């Protein structure tokens, strides 16, 4: 399923950067770009998009005034060189606020979150997809991984190894950073070196658990959280 993207920005360079980013994600399709919010508002009178990347400082109609004109609000990501508008952006119900210039990994973090929300939204009238996340492997290729296929994520210093039901992927990321991107009701940090998928746990014995036939130690500092999230549900 592809999600329709609109870019509204009066800076041609900013539009080109975003176009390049969007084209690298197979789940996204660029619907339209506009250099002013007036034309964008007119377009949305007869068309629907899923995601809008919106600049704030634009002539005639600024980004916040543009949002007020929308009867149906898609997922809005504000893109601005001015950090001081961030609070107002979230008050306007923007899903994220990207400060220019922002990197592709930062863009991808936002997109992963949005795709997860759109894929699981009960307001989506079409068939829902399994929630997924995109990661960059081999420092160049974007790989889509379904969350329900992840078994364990292992720390390798500046990298992580994501073990799924069918493959393993090495990604340049920290375990802490990646774990924060995962739904907390589905995944749990069990050790300084491991994050586990709760639904994939096969057995628990002492201070260890088994996933896919492999035993993993639960670190002492993670035991209390593990008891609250997992053991209390298992033991009746």
Domain boundaries, the chain: 3-120, 145-234
191: CB partners within 8 A, 6+ apart? 216, 217, 218, 219, 222
State the Cα–Cα distance between residues 77 and 145, nearest whole angstrom.
Answer: 23
Helical H segments across 12-165, by residue range: 12-23, 37-43, 63-69, 86-91, 104-120
- Which pLDDT score, from 0 to 100, does residue 22 have? 94
- Single out the residue of 230, 226, 231, 148 nearest to residue 189, CA to CA: 226
Q: Which CATH number is 145-234's, of 1.20.1050.90, 3.40.50.720, 2.40.50.1020, 3.30.310.50? A: 2.40.50.1020
Which of the residue ranges 27-31, 46-50, 79-83, 89-93 would you say has the lowest mean pLDDT? 89-93
- Which pLDDT score, from 0 to 100, does residue 122 have? 37
User: pTM score, two decimals?
Assistant: 0.58
Q: Does domain 3-120 have CATH number 3.40.50.2300?
A: yes
* pLDDT value at 71 more than 90: no
* pLDDT value at 185 more than 90: no
- Which pLDDT score, from 0 to 100, does residue 113 have? 86
- Residue bearing the bigger pLDDT, 86 or 186: 186
Please name the helix (run of DSSP H) or strand (run of DSSP E) that holds residue 135, with its range, or none. Answer: strand 132-137
Q: Which is it for the CA torsion 150, 155, 159, 161, positive or negative?
A: negative
Which of the residue ranges 20-24, 167-171, 180-184 would you say has the lowest mean pLDDT? 180-184
- Which pLDDT score, from 0 to 100, does residue 128 have? 45
Cα–Cα separations (whole angstroms), residue 79 to 16, 94, 125, 167 = 13, 10, 29, 36
């Amino acid at each position: 399923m592809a999600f329709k993207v609109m870019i509204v920005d009066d800076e041609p360079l900013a539009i080109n950067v975003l176009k390049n980013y969007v084209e690298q994600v197979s789940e996204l399709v660029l619907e339209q770009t506009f250099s002013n919010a007036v034309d964008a508002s007119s377009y949305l009178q007869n068309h629907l998009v899923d995601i809008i990347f919106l600049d704030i400082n634009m002539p005639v109609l600024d980004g916040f005034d543009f949002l007020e004109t929308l009867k149906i609000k898609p997922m809005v990501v504000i893109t601005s060189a001015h950090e001081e508008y961030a609070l107002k952006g979230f008050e306007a119900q923007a899903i994220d606020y990207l400060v220019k210039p922002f990197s592709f990994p930062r863009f991808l973090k936002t997109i992963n979150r949005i795709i997860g929300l759109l894929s699981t939204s009960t307001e989506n009238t079409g068939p829902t997809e399994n929630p997924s996340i995109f990661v960059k492997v081999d420092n160049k290729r974007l790989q889509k991984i379904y969350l329900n296929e992840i078994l364990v994520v292992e720390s390798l210093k500046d990298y992580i190894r994501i073990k799924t039901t069918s493959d393993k992927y090495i990604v340049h990321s920290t375990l802490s950073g990646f774990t924060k991107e995962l739904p907390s009701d589905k995944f749990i940090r069990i050790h300084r070196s491991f994050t586990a998928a709760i639904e994939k746990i096969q057995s628990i014995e002492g201070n260890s658990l088994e996933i896919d036939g492999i035993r993993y130690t639960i670190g002492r500092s993670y035991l209390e959280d593990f008891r609250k999230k997992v053991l209390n549900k298992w033991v009746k």
